[in-house]
Chain A
Amino acid sequence: MTTPAIELVGVSKWYGGFQALKEINLSIAERERVVVCGPSGSGKSTMIRCVNQLERHQRGDIRIHGRAFGGGARDDEAIRRETGMVFQSFNLFPHMTVLENCTFALTWVKQMPEAEAKRIAMSHLERVRIPEQAAKYPLQLSGGQQQRVAIARALCMQPRIMLFDEPTSALDPEMIKEVLDVMVELAGTGMTMVVVTHEMGFARQVADRVVFMDQGEVVEQAPPEEFFANPRYDRTRMFLSQIL
């Protein structure tokens, strides 16, 4: 068996005395697309944020393509670079234009010539279908456009894994679709994706697997058809009846 793209082994995380993650075990293969869902406070955001070490876990191992975090800052940085992150609140840099948002890390982290960085950035902006907005500032764009810029910005760094932390939760309903379309398209390219979302339509359409979490644990995981048609746990059924 090949090494999984992401592997969590007995990962635990506490905030003070509160245990947010309880010995999570999860393995995600390369090119697999996983949707993580669950009620708020179930630990799904914490888990995805641990995967690229925005939060530090306190026990267990997190391995990205077989390499575990915790071997020194420089190594951790290299491992983190395999992942790209998209946030619920976009977190675009408001004082930079859309294009600068995309080229910033290319020039200052990958030390790329500006012309090349711009070329790459434009190609990704085209991919998310907003190349014409490149010269604008983020606050001049709609929420959906901002989130697409954020996706392009993350893609510019050429990550092998994309992490989405509730990418559509802060959007108005009519904007959700334009972001989901971009994500569906991305899924078609064979990118490894972990998506925390409540968009069950998206899960049905593209996910290889749905992971349901509650109270810091993975309750159950299954391919979407099975997950929606025949959930095994009472908790899952309750959640689905509330959300669908």
Chain B
Amino acid sequence: MAPDHTPAPPLVFTPRPSAPPPPSTVGVMGWLRANLFSSVPNAILTVLGAYILYVFLEAIISWALVNAVWEAPNRRACLDAVGRSGACWPGVIAWLPNLIYGLYPKDQVWRIDLGALLLVLWALPLFLPRVKSKVAIGLTAVLVYPFLVSYLFLGGEKGWLWMGLVAGSLATFFWVWLTAICEMRTGQGFIPLLVRTLAGPDPIPERARLVRQLAWAALFVTALVIVSRWQLVEVPTRLWGGLFLTMVISGIGITFSLPAGVLLALGRRSSMPLIRGFCVAFIELFRSVPLITILFMFNTMLPLFLPVGVEVDRLLRAIVAVCLFAAAYMAEIVRGGLQAIPKGQYEAAAAMGLGYWQSTTLIILPQALKIMIPAIVGNFIGLFKDTTLVSIIGLFDMLSMARAVGEDTRWLGLFIEPFFFITMIYFVFCFAMSQYSMNLERRLGGGQRR
């Protein structure tokens, strides 16, 4: 209802230009004033903080860089050169392969590198544009990749079953890249594309299925041929160590804990009292005791639990313990995610006539998992840090390796340097992950904030 009977033409409002703010509130001076010297106590705190920072940084830089020794045959030489005022890095450098690969034979180390490269390659399509099957690729990277590298890392005699698994895993890897390439070039997955070219654009279902099965069979046979020609020397797990071992344990832990945690969480929310009871008991037991007691328990009791004569690998004992522990924690995270899903979603799924498993896997879990990603990453950080505990039960993880440096006769007593080094490694990994998860949280939260 605009006033239409106005006699006078309207005046034109021209906003006056912004005046520059008072100089004391902007620019470097304004920032300093507002953030460092807003009051006398604040100024004192600033000076104190700056002093602490200076002392701390100065000490670290002069020790780690300025006064450090970079080349020396042994620790004595370092001490003669700079005493304790500078770091003795040659010890760390000499032990670097061991810190990363443990006691893995030097001529076989390429297998670990190849395994790491494979993981990178497997995950690479996730970051490529126009790749649509990202969920499937991500899932195979977590669930299928481990079989392939298990043989790569372990080597030795492979039975038929294992060979089949490894070949299947390699076939999946081929599928991942064929799919990624096809989707990037044509926008269609590898298998659908194959079906279309071989069976026509609108094939009868039987033919399409036949083509699909043949394609997988071809992939599998190719992989099997390749795998059967591999002859890798066995590297027993007692030689595994360093960062490599840390990665293996935490990797298997997270891989196992995700599905197990989902099942446990669903069980805990189930309406069936028996299933709920088992899940609650398992989760509460493993969450209320320290990881070290679980490691000890499996270390001493797993041989008792199994039939006479079955030898359990030390590493396997630790992995079982870590997996069950991580699963219990993951279950609580998943439960939190499930609780955050509004009741309407369950009702809507039920109204669509979906059964329990359908509604859970198609409607509820995808939403819950999305909310849970930051917590899952947090759990993974915890797991990554907790793997250091395996050094207590005698495995040679990065921490044990760092302590072994100082027991080497050449580097006797060298303790702070290797510790400083592995601390940096742990920090870089954990910090990167936590920043990533915080980033995700911010992005996910942004869409949901009111």
Contact = CB atoms under 8 A, between A and B. Distances in A.
Contacts of B15: 22, 214-217
Contacts of B12: 233-234
A16 to B, nearest CB: 7
Nearest to A227: B3
A23 B13 CA distance: 16
Interface string B1-20: 11100101011110110111
A231 B8 CA distance: 10
Nearest to B30: A16
Contacts of A58: 21-22, 25
B2 A240 contact: yes
A240 B6 CA distance: 14
A225 to B, nearest CB: 12
B13 A236 contact: yes
Given A16-B26, A244-B1, A233 B10 contact: yes
A39 to B, nearest CB: 12
B64 to A, nearest CB: 39
A240 B10 CA distance: 13
Contacts of B13: 214, 219, 233-236
Give chain B's interface secondary structure class.
loop
B134 to A, nearest CB: 39
A142 interface: no
A48 to B, nearest CB: 20
B11 A22 contact: no
A17 B21 contact: yes
B368 to A, nearest CB: 27
Contacts of A229: 3
Contact of A18 (B8, B11, B18): B18
Contacts of A234: 10-13
Contact of B26 (A17, A232, A241): A17
A59 B16 CA distance: 17
A4 B11 CA distance: 29
Nearest to A230: B6
B14 to A, nearest CB: 9
Contacts, number: 61
Contacts of A12: 19
B18 A19 contact: yes
Nearest to A15: B21
A31 interface: no
Interface residues of B, number: 18
A18 B19 CA distance: 9
B19 A240 contact: no
A12 B19 CA distance: 9
B21 A16 contact: yes
A103 to B, nearest CB: 32
B3 A228 contact: yes
Interface in A85-135: none
B19 A237 contact: no
Nearest to A228: B3
A214 B2 CA distance: 19
Contact of B25 (A14, A215, A217): A14
Nearest to A244: B1
Contacts of B20: 17
Contacts of A18: 18
Contacts of A232: 8, 10-11
A233 B22 contact: no
A14 B3 CA distance: 35
B388 to A, nearest CB: 42
Contacts of B10: 231-234, 236-237
Given A214-B15, A232-B11, A240 B21 contact: no
Interface in A192-241: 214-217, 219, 228-237, 240-241
A179 to B, nearest CB: 21
Contacts of B25: 14, 58
Contacts of A233: 10-13
A60 B427 CA distance: 51
B31 to A, nearest CB: 10
A219 B25 CA distance: 27
Contacts of B1: 241, 244
A217 B11 contact: no
B40 to A, nearest CB: 15
A14 B21 contact: yes
Interface string A1-32: 00000000000101011110011000000000
Nearest to A12: B19
Contacts of B11: 232-234
B19 A19 contact: yes
A100 B10 CA distance: 52
B3 A22 contact: no
A217 B26 contact: no
Nearest to A22: B16
B22 A231 contact: no
A12 B12 CA distance: 23
B22 A59 contact: yes
Given A17-B26, A214-B13, A235-B13, A230 B3 contact: yes
A229 B20 CA distance: 37
A23 to B, nearest CB: 8
Interface string A29-44: 0000000000000000
Nearest to A19: B18
A241 B2 contact: yes
Contacts of A235: 13
Given A14-B26, A233-B10, A233-B11, 11 more contacts: A12-B19, A14-B22, A22-B19, A216-B15, A231-B3, A232-B8, A233-B13, A236-B10, A236-B13, A244-B1, A244-B2
Interface of B: 1-3, 6, 8, 10-13, 15-16, 18-22, 25-26
Q: Which 10 A-B residue pairings sit nearest by Cβ, starting from the closest?
A: A14-B21, A235-B13, A19-B18, A215-B15, A241-B2, A234-B10, A233-B13, A233-B11, A244-B1, A232-B11
Interface of A: 12, 14, 16-19, 22-23, 58-59, 214-217, 219, 228-237, 240-241, 244
8 contacts: A16-B26, A17-B21, A19-B19, A22-B19, A216-B18, A230-B3, A231-B3, A236-B10
